Structure 1
Amino acid sequence: MWGEGDPRWIVEARADATNVNNWHWSARMSTNATATATILCCLGVRVEGPEGFCQLTDVSKLDGEASINNRKGKLIFFYEWQLRASWLGQ
């Protein structure tokens, strides 16, 4: 159980309240890496059914941001993307 008994819980014992080992909260922007991965993932999308198929062929616009946050050892991902894509279907 995490809490004051955990050895990582040392903020109250520190006069400077340092976030030791990013235990309490840390955030890292990952917009560039995530944008590339999002485009590659979208271009691989193809949906097929008895009526036909639809496939994304190009991503012409990708706006937004993404970040990775760490709170007490748990990773939390935030992202917001707006994209414009071309598709081909039959």
Structure 2
Amino acid sequence: MPKKLPFDTIAEFIHSLGERGKTAKALDINPRTLTTRLENPATFTLAELQRVAEYGHTDLMTVTMLADHQIKNPIDPPAPALGRPARQH
């Protein structure tokens, strides 16, 4: 059974984990790659989703469901850091 989190998307969940550069390092991916994943969660690998789950102290099913929800309901990812404006497309 997946955990109930106060987020609807994987982008919101990852944003809640802290500064994006530190999160990318903890997930063992380049910060630019993390930005790509947040914009298009279909690009996450299974291994990356597992690392997100471990780093966020949750389970793989939960992060997979968050990613799936975002794929079906696209959003603009949160700004890279609190108080900073989102990157313009």
User: TM-score if structure 1 supplies the norm length?
Assistant: 0.23
More strand, by proportion: 1
**Which of structures 1 and 2 has the bigger CA Rg?**
1
More helix, by proportion: 2
User: TM-score if structure 2 supplies the norm length?
Assistant: 0.23
